[in-house]
Each structure stands twice: as structure tokens, then as C-alpha cells.
Structure 1
Amino acid sequence: MIATHEHEFEAAPGLPEPLPPGEKMLWQGVPQWRQLALHAFHVRKIAIYFLIMWAIQLAYLLDSHAGNHEIAISLIKSFLTGSVALVLLSSVAWFSSKTTVYTITDKRVVMRVGMVLTLTFNLPHKRIASASLKNFHGNSGDIALSLYPSDRIAWMHLWPHARAWRLTQPEPALRCIPDAQAVGRILLAAWSQERTTERIVAQSVPLPTQSEQQQEGLPA
């Protein structure tokens, strides 16, 4: 899914500035809002909770020998309260999806997120230690990115675009994206290529000679 312009200041959809010469976009997409509602905002679990509370309330009212009218009014109020909460959560999930764009290039992962305050995270492949894929029903899933300890991003800045229960070392995540396995292969290929290029460059750098080491105060 290709993103469209969400903000006028964007040089390109999901990008705060044009890609540098030589950098190629490999994939761009947004979270599926229904999956985001289920797995990030836990709408299904909260709905089950409300149903259990509704059943407990019904059992209590029947045991207290309340009148039919009183039982109906109480249950309707509880049902409406739960329905409003679920609608609000689903709306937040939809808005979060609408304001999010994930981009993978051959050099980095770019995450433009934020429902109120827009933030853009540039994650170079060479600063990504590892990645993990979590599949959901169908072909959607999460791709969590493990960063090096020196590159810590606050969990509150990432949520809900973060791996669950990783608070001390938050992991940015591409949440609820379609064709997650295919996207994971694209990311793995770009990450591996960048690491290979980095090793080749490091190996091609000439080592200083003994005289140069002595001039610079390095141990010979």
C-alpha cells in the first residue's frame, strides 16, 4: 500500500525530506487499522471484559430480585458504556493508522508516526541489531527492530509502534502491516546488503604504516 501526503511539509509521502541521491525506496506502507485495533489497542480483549462484567451484573440483578424494568435499564446503560469505549478505541486505532507511514529504503527504515505531534524516526540499517517477525491471522504481522543500547528511544515516543512489554530497551515496530513476511524479506535483504557493504569498506581501509603510527602516537 502506497501512502499519500498526510502533511503539507513532507517532501515526499512519509518522508521529511527527499531521499539522497543513490538511496532507493524498497517498500512503503501503513498499518491495517482493524488489526491495529485488535493487537495494539486490544479491542477484542476489552470487549470480552465488558461482556463478562455485563453477565455478572445480570446475575446480580436477578439474584437481588430487581424488577424487569430496572434490570433492562441497568443492562442498557452498561451496554452503551462498553460500546462507546470500544468505538473510541477503534477510532483511535483508525486515526493512528491514518497518520502513520512506514518506509524501508536500501539504507534505513523511516517511521513517521504521531496522532497529535508528528515524529519521524530514521533507523539506519547499520544501527539495527536484529529484527523479529510476529504473524497474525492472515498475512498481516509485526516486525520489531532491536536497536543497540546506545540508540535507545523512549517507549512513550514510539507507542503504539513498539514491541509489547519491551520497556527498558524499547523496540520500534512496524505494526500490523500487510504481507509481513514479504516485507520482512525485503528488510532482511537490505539489512544484509548494508552490513556486507560496511564490512567491505572497513576491509578496504589501508592500515597505517609503522612510521605513521609513531607519528600519531599509536602503538606500533
Structure 2
Amino acid sequence: MHHDDFKFEPVPGLPEALPEDEHILWQGRPSTMRLAREAWKLNWVLGYFAILTLWRIGVSSTQVPLNEAAWHGLPFVLAAGLAMAILIAMAAVQARSTVYTLTNKRVAMRIGAALTMTLNLPYVCIANAAVQERRSGHGTLSFELTGDTRLSYLMTWPHTRPWHFARTQPALRAIPNVARVAEIFADAAETRVSTPQVTRISPVADPIAAE
């Protein structure tokens, strides 16, 4: 992938170079149209304007012939087209500025169009993951964090699991082939969590060694 807008990144989508023992397993970004539909509710907005158009034509048809009444719905059709263009443009900007990354140690999310930030979610800090797949194969992979970690819903939206306001769950939104991405995450997380963590202690701090 090419990220000309972020040439200062040592690794595309990441704020710093990866350690020697870490490597990228997958990178991707949201689908613009899926993000417009799921996050910006494009279909609902177009449905709203469709109802307004039919209502206006129906009201006008009681006073003028139907072919003339149809022209009375034109302003609503034009408004719907403008609204669609705006929503798709905003979704495109968000999709272009987003890079999701899975490594063998963490989930990294470079998000934000105006204010860019990177979320680093080590696998050991993720309690559960949920996947929602659409018929097209696109979908959302969300993460429930452990401990007292709290994220702002407004700061991370739309890269969150919808309607989970009390405990924000960061999510990879509207990504293609979400089932495969979920498999990559599950395998990497299981390997990382099951890896023994060795902590070195001073002999003086060990009661047995101190005797």
C-alpha cells in the first residue's frame, strides 16, 4: 500500500520502526462505501429523502397531473444527491487516513483525518474479540480491553463497536474479508498470550534465595 500523505512514518501505519522480534501479519483500511453505509448511515439518509420525495409527489398529485407533480420532487432528489456526495466524501477521507495493522504482538490503529493518532493494543491487554461479517465479506472486528483502560468514544469513532458507549471497544471497521482477518488475529493473539513471560528478580528480593 502507498501512503504518500504519511511519508514521515518509518513503517506505513506505525509511528515508529518495529522491534527486531516483531513483524507485520496484516495491514488494511476500511472500505469507503461500507464505511459510509455502516458509520455514516448512508442508506438511512437516502431512505429518508426517498420518503420525502414520494410524500411531496403524492401531495402535489392531488392538485396537478402526476407527470407535473413528479417535478415537484426534484429538489428532494437533488438534496439526496448532495447529501450522498458529502457522506461518501467524509467516509473516503476517513478511510484514506486510516491504517489497521496486526503484528505478532499487537493491534495498531492509525486513525483520525484532522487529528491523527495511533492506538497500540497489545494482545495481552485484549480480553475478547467479536467479529460481525456482512454478506459481502466486509465486517467489523472489535476488541474488549482488560483492566481499567478507557478510550473516548468520540475521539475514536467511527473506529469503535457501535452503541458501546459505557466501555468503548476499538474496532477495525468495514474491512474486506473480515473472517480471514479475525483468524489472523486469533492465531497471533493465542500464540502471544500463551508465550511464557520471564521476569528477572534480584536474589535479594527472593526469600528463598536470601536464606
Scaled by the length of structure 2, the TM-score of the pair is 0.89
Please give the residue correspondences for 1:55-74 in structure 2 after superposition, counting only pairs within 5 Å. Answer: 55-63=54-62, 65-66=63-64, 71=69, 74=72
- Offset at residue 162 of structure 1 (A): 0.7
Partner of 2:167: 169
CA contact (8 A) 2:140 2:175 kept: yes
CA offset digits 1:125-171 (Å, max 9, x no partner): 11111100000122211100111251111001111111100011111
Of 128, 145, 148 in structure 2, the residue corresponding to residue 147 of structure 1 is 145
Query: What secondary structure sits across from 1:120 in the alignment?
Result: strand
Partner of 2:44: 45
Aligned identity (percent) is 32
CA offset digits 1:89-120 (Å, max 9, x no partner): 01111111111000000111110011111111
Query: What secondary structure sits across from 1:176 in the alignment?
Result: strand
Partner of 2:76: 78
Partner of 1:189: 187
Q: Does residue 122 of structure 2 align to residue 120 of structure 1? A: no
Scaled by the length of structure 1, the TM-score of the pair is 0.86
Partner of 2:132: 134
Partner of 1:201: 197
Partner of 2:89: 91
Number of residue equivalences: 209
- The amino acid across from 1:157 in the alignment is M
**Distance in structure 1 (CA, Å) of the matches to 2:9 and 2:209:** 51
Query: What secondary structure sits across from 2:46 in the alignment?
Result: helix
CA contact (8 A) 1:3 1:101 kept: no
CA contact (8 A) 1:149 1:169 kept: no
- The amino acid across from 2:8 in the alignment is F
Provide structure 1 residue ranges, at least 5 long, that are not aligned to the other structure.
214-220
Query: What secondary structure sits across from 2:90 in the alignment?
Result: helix
Partner of 1:8: 7
**Distance in structure 2 (CA, Å) of the matches to 1:195 and 1:86:** 44
Partner of 1:159: 157
- The amino acid across from 1:7 in the alignment is F
- The amino acid across from 1:41 in the alignment is W
**Distance in structure 2 (CA, Å) of the matches to 1:57 and 1:72:** 8
CA contact (8 A) 1:29 1:103 kept: yes
